[in-house]
Amino acid sequence: MLPEVEPKTEVRTRWFCGNGAVRERDDGVFEVVIGGVIIGWFSRGEPERRNLLLVALSDNPSIQLGDLARAFGLSAERLRQIREFARVHGADALFVRRKGGRAPISARLKKRIVALFDQGLNIDATYAKGGDRSRSKGIDLIHGPIC
The residue ranges of DSSP E strands in 1-147, in sequence order, are 11-17, 20-25, 29-34, 37-43
Q: Which of 16-30, 63-77, 119-133 has the lowest mean pLDDT?
A: 119-133
pLDDT at 50 over 60: yes
CB of 49 closer than 8 Å to CB of 40: yes
- The reply to whether 28 and 80 lie within a common domain is yes
The reply to whether 101 falls in a domain is no
My answer on whether 19 and 77 are in the same domain is yes
Mean predicted confidence (pLDDT) in 101-120: 76
Q: Are residues 57 and 91 in the same domain?
A: yes
What's the structural domain count of the chain? 2
Does residue 6 sit within a domain? no
* Domain span holding position 55: 11-95
Looking at the predicted structure, is the pLDDT value of residue 101 above 90?
A: no
- Same domain flag for 27 and 91: yes
Query: pLDDT band at residue 103, thresholds of 50, 70 and 90?
Result: low
